[in-house]
A and B are shown apart, each in its own frame.
Chain A
Amino acid sequence: MPPAALWATLRESVQGVNKPRNQDYCEVAGRGTAEEPLIMAVADGHGSAAHARSHLGSRFAVDLFVEEARRFGALAQPRGDERPPSLAWLMHYAEHAFPRQLVSAWRDKVLGNWARTSSHEEPGLTEEHKVLLYGSTLVGAVLTPRVFAAWQLGDGELTVVDDAGRVSVPLAPAEADLGDETESLCTPEAWLRVRTHWAPVTAPWRAPRLVALSTDGLSKSFASDRGFLQFMAGLDDRLSAEGAQTVRAVLPQWLARASQHSGDDTTLVAAWHQGAPPAPEPVTAHGAPAPDGAPDPDAVPPTDHPAPPTDPHGRDE
Chain B
Amino acid sequence: MANRPVHFIWLLDCSYSMQGEKIGQLNYAIREAVPEMRSVAQDNPAAQLLLRTLTFSTTARWHHQDPVPVENFTWQDVQVDGMTNLGEALQLVARELDTPPMPQRALKPVLALVSDGVPTDDWKAGLRAVDATPWGRKAVRVAIAIGADADRTVLQEFLGNPELQPLDANTPKQLAAAIRWASTAAVKAASQMVAGATDPLAKQPPYAPPVLDDDDDDVW
Residue contact B196 to A183, C-beta cutoff 8 Å: no
Is B134 at the interface (CB under 8 A from chain A)?
Answer: yes
Partner of B46, one of A184, A216, A260: A260
Task: Determine the interface band of chain A, counting residues with CB < 8 A from chain B.
Answer: 35 or more
Which residues of chain B are near A176, meaning CB under 8 Å? 104
Is A180 at the interface (CB under 8 A from chain B)?
Answer: yes
- Of all chain B residues, the one with the shortest Cβ separation from A180 is B195
Residue contact B2 to A51, C-beta cutoff 8 Å: no
Is A243 at the interface (CB under 8 A from chain B)?
Answer: no
Residue contact B1 to A182, C-beta cutoff 8 Å: no
Q: Is the interface of A mostly helix, strand, loop or mixed?
A: loop
Residue contact B138 to A181, C-beta cutoff 8 Å: yes
Residue contact A261 to B1, C-beta cutoff 8 Å: yes
Residue contact B199 to A186, C-beta cutoff 8 Å: yes
A-contacting 9-mer, from B105-113, B154-162, B166-174:
B105-113
CA distance A138 to B10 in the complex (A): 38
Which residues of chain B are near A222, meaning CB under 8 Å? 1-2, 105
A-B contact count (CB 8 A): 121
Residue contact B196 to A224, C-beta cutoff 8 Å: no
A 83-101 to B, binary, CB cutoff 8 A, 1 in contact else 0 = 0000000000000000000
B-contacting 9-mer, from A63-71, A128-136, A245-253:
A128-136
Residue of B3, B134, B196 with most partner-chain A CB within 10 A: B196
Interface residues of A in 89-119 (CB under 8 A from B): none
Is B192 at the interface (CB under 8 A from chain A)?
Answer: yes
Residue contact A16 to B135, C-beta cutoff 8 Å: no
CA distance A258 to B1 in the complex (A): 7
Which residues of chain B are near A128, meaning CB under 8 Å? 201
Q: Is the interface of B mostly helix, strand, loop or mixed?
A: loop
Residue contact B195 to A223, C-beta cutoff 8 Å: no
CA distance A17 to B47 in the complex (A): 11
B-contacting 9-mer, from A40-48, A233-241, A284-292:
A40-48
Which residues of chain A are near B106, meaning CB under 8 Å? 178-179
CA distance A168 to B204 in the complex (A): 35
B 94-131 to A, binary, CB cutoff 8 A, 1 in contact else 0 = 00000100011111100000000000000000000000
Residue contact A50 to B202, C-beta cutoff 8 Å: yes
Residue contact B197 to A220, C-beta cutoff 8 Å: no
Is B44 at the interface (CB under 8 A from chain A)?
Answer: yes
Which residues of chain A are near B43, meaning CB under 8 Å? 18
Is B148 at the interface (CB under 8 A from chain A)?
Answer: no
- Of all chain A residues, the one with the shortest Cβ separation from B108 is A179
A 177-210 to B, binary, CB cutoff 8 A, 1 in contact else 0 = 1111111101110000000000000000000000
Partner of A44, one of B99, B103, B195: B195
Partner of A180, one of B44, B103, B196: B196
11 of the cross-chain contacts (CB-CB < 8 Å) are A17-B45, A50-B196, A50-B202, A132-B199, A179-B108, A180-B194, A183-B197, A224-B105, A257-B1, A263-B193, A264-B46
